[in-house]
Chains A and B, each alone.
Chain A
């Protein structure tokens, strides 16, 4: 009788599988619970009579899930995942830390080749252009660095987080400064600066560079003009304040030279150049030229 009932239940299993109620669900899975009662209200036998296959069926998922969680949690399998452009940067950073020059060159080249490849694959990523610029800066390839960083700025400007344009501009300025240091003609120098300018990005350091070029080629009026322009953005740049004072000395304008000297003084107390400048100002006649 019981066997017949079981067979009947099995035959109805499919149709009943989704219609679960408190009385049918347990039968569907052929398990019983201790407080389930039969029609007469007597407790049903609590011992489930499941086979090995059923055991495997019911424990397979929890055990698999538990194993997976443990693999992840205890890091039994932990692949190294890194973007290739970051891998390139990793080698470049390592190159900077290694003291052996052969290893430095090797690591730099390794990093550079990865970044070049990534830049070729993803020319739309400002960050990758910036990393390429960083590589060229370390290689002292100023023109390529300026080109790459200009691309980084033009592609990457305007974001609110993880901004790339400012660090790119730093590298660009560094490369440009190195380029300007070796320039002997004022026109060439000004052309280099003009080439580094970008229409939609305010790189105020270029004004400082222009001022420095004019200062180097003894044109104090233009130099003061650009230094003051730069100083209106960065009023605490004591180097610029000193340079303005120096240019006023060159113009024999003691009053203004004194004003900018006093502005620079608190920041440059330990700078020996300040003493030299002081002496130059003191030697000047009191009247402006």
Chain B
């Protein structure tokens, strides 16, 4: 014990004041994030091609989709579409790999904005907000270098900067559990999403910021006032304009207890505002979209996907419905874990199992070793658990009802990364033990070192998985 203290005093204490998690997050995130921007083959993140077209259209000032031949989409330069297309459907499973030489050749190709073609995109009607950072960077980046591959990279850089800045702020303001937030935000999967053109970038960033505010509010001695609530609701609003499916987490602020609010009236206002934030953005946006009378084209038509019919089907036998969810959780759970930590590209390449397991363990340890100077009361913990579990279950049910075919036993298309925003809430409420741990200081130093290791490995992994060596 004494040796440990000596080691701490001699080596670690002098650098402690520079060893701030938010700065470390920024440095590590920027370094490895930029690595991922350029190393992840272009338009290779899940649905990145479609998200990119939305970002590009936004950069050109198009907020709503255009219509041609009963399809929705945007007009995009032909050689940009060609560049995106050749990077889709690469047969990695058949041993095909990316050739760096081909990529270099593409980097020399200039964008030809005068030659445009209509690019159908079924996702072109969604909220434009999540593409704002990518669109801004595309707009400015094109002034420096405007070839198709670089436009994709500019978009990724814009997303990455937004991701890093928002989470930097989140880690800065959160009084405790900085380690947990950093471990989740710098997990290979989260950073991979953060360094891609996708709505998940801001989805993750805003939810982590909400988490930071909840923990900050919990530990602040003063009661919650209107200004606190307005800040919180604004972030929830921004998140709601980014992606749906996580609105239950917005209500985690109520876990603080009504006594934490300055008045009962404020509790009421908070609930009303959160309900409004949950429903109104989608309501108004969809009203606007339906006013455009856009043709609807099904993404997948081999099965019938119909939420109300599916719900009616499952409710004929509610016990079976619950069994389906439980069975799927156990049957698919392991691959969901992989999705939480690192499952890359549309080829769904998974990081080695040992790394996934260790990283999940690190989430738990980051919570367990949080030094409980300020102990979290059980009531708050259990309420937070209920909220996060509700959202967790809602995602599973939502995917089963709305994304799986009517009457399916297997849940279709549920990826582990969908649970990523819930992880800080869930792991805090599950693994927090209010017992003093002296190892906290060394953990504080070990965690960033571990994250550097895991991200270095990830970079190596992506490099060797997708490219010809």
Give residues in A with beta carbon < 8 Å to B: 15, 17-22, 25-26, 28-29, 31-36, 46, 48, 57-59, 61-62, 65-66, 69, 71-73, 75, 77-84, 86, 121-122, 124-127, 130, 155-164
Bound-state Cα–Cα, A25 to B429, Å? 16
Closest A-B pairs by Cβ, 10 of them: A18-B257, A159-B301, A72-B333, A164-B302, A124-B304, A65-B430, A79-B327, A25-B375, A127-B302, A81-B331
Closest residue of chain A to B258 (Cβ to Cβ) is A18
- Please tell me if B18 contacts chain A, counting CB pairs below 8 Å: no
- Please tell me if B403 contacts chain A, counting CB pairs below 8 Å: no
Given contacts A20-B219, A81-B409, contact A164 B434 (CB under 8 A): no
Query: From residue A236, how far is it (CB to closest CB) to chain B in Å?
Result: 22
- Contact A21–B331 (Cβ < 8 Å): no
Best-surrounded residue of A86, A124, A157 (most CB of chain B within 10 A) = A124
Closest residue of chain A to B431 (Cβ to Cβ) is A62
Cβ contacts under 8 Å, A17 to chain B: 257, 377-380
Bound-state Cα–Cα, A36 to B374, Å? 9
Cβ contacts under 8 Å, A48 to chain B: 435-436
Cβ contacts under 8 Å, B376 to chain A: 20, 25
Cβ contacts under 8 Å, A162 to chain B: 300, 302
Which listed segment binds A: B7-15, B196-204, B365-373? B365-373
Pick from A22, A59, A161: contact of B300, CB below 8 A.
A161
- Contact A71–B409 (Cβ < 8 Å): no
15 contacts between A and B (CB under 8 A): A20-B219, A31-B435, A36-B373, A61-B431, A65-B364, A69-B337, A73-B333, A79-B331, A81-B409, A83-B405, A86-B410, A125-B302, A125-B406, A127-B405, A159-B302
- Contact B371–A33 (Cβ < 8 Å): yes
Query: From residue A73, how far is it (CB to closest CB) to chain B in Å?
Result: 6
Cβ contacts under 8 Å, B331 to chain A: 78-81
Cβ contacts under 8 Å, B259 to chain A: 15, 18-19
Cβ contacts under 8 Å, A122 to chain B: 304, 405-407
**Total residue contacts A-B, CB cutoff 8 A:** 165
Query: From residue B313, how far is it (CB to closest CB) to chain A in Å?
Result: 9
- Contact A65–B327 (Cβ < 8 Å): no
- Please tell me if B26 contacts chain A, counting CB pairs below 8 Å: no
Closest residue of chain B to A25 (Cβ to Cβ) is B375
Given contacts A33-B372, A124-B406, contact A164 B301 (CB under 8 A): yes
Given contacts A31-B375, A62-B433, contact A73 B337 (CB under 8 A): yes
- Contact A18–B380 (Cβ < 8 Å): yes
- Contact A58–B385 (Cβ < 8 Å): no
Closest residue of chain A to B373 (Cβ to Cβ) is A33
- Please tell me if B298 contacts chain A, counting CB pairs below 8 Å: yes
- Please tell me if B122 contacts chain A, counting CB pairs below 8 Å: yes
Cβ contacts under 8 Å, B380 to chain A: 17-18, 20
Given contacts A31-B436, A72-B330, A78-B330, contact A18 B373 (CB under 8 A): no
- Please tell me if B91 contacts chain A, counting CB pairs below 8 Å: no
- Contact A22–B337 (Cβ < 8 Å): no
Contact with A along B409-439 (1 / 0, CB 8 A): 1100000000000000000011111111010
Cβ contacts under 8 Å, B304 to chain A: 122, 124-125, 155
- Please tell me if B297 contacts chain A, counting CB pairs below 8 Å: yes
- Please tell me if B46 contacts chain A, counting CB pairs below 8 Å: no
Closest residue of chain B to A19 (Cβ to Cβ) is B259
Closest residue of chain A to B381 (Cβ to Cβ) is A61
Closest residue of chain A to B429 (Cβ to Cβ) is A61
Contact with A along B188-230 (1 / 0, CB 8 A): 0000000000000000000000000000001101000000000
- Contact A126–B303 (Cβ < 8 Å): yes
- Contact B374–A21 (Cβ < 8 Å): yes
- Contact B371–A83 (Cβ < 8 Å): no
Bound-state Cα–Cα, A206 to B259, Å? 75
Given contacts A21-B374, A26-B374, A162-B300, contact A121 B407 (CB under 8 A): yes
- Contact B334–A73 (Cβ < 8 Å): yes
Bound-state Cα–Cα, A161 to B332, Å? 22
Cβ contacts under 8 Å, A33 to chain B: 371-373, 375, 436
- Please tell me if B329 contacts chain A, counting CB pairs below 8 Å: yes
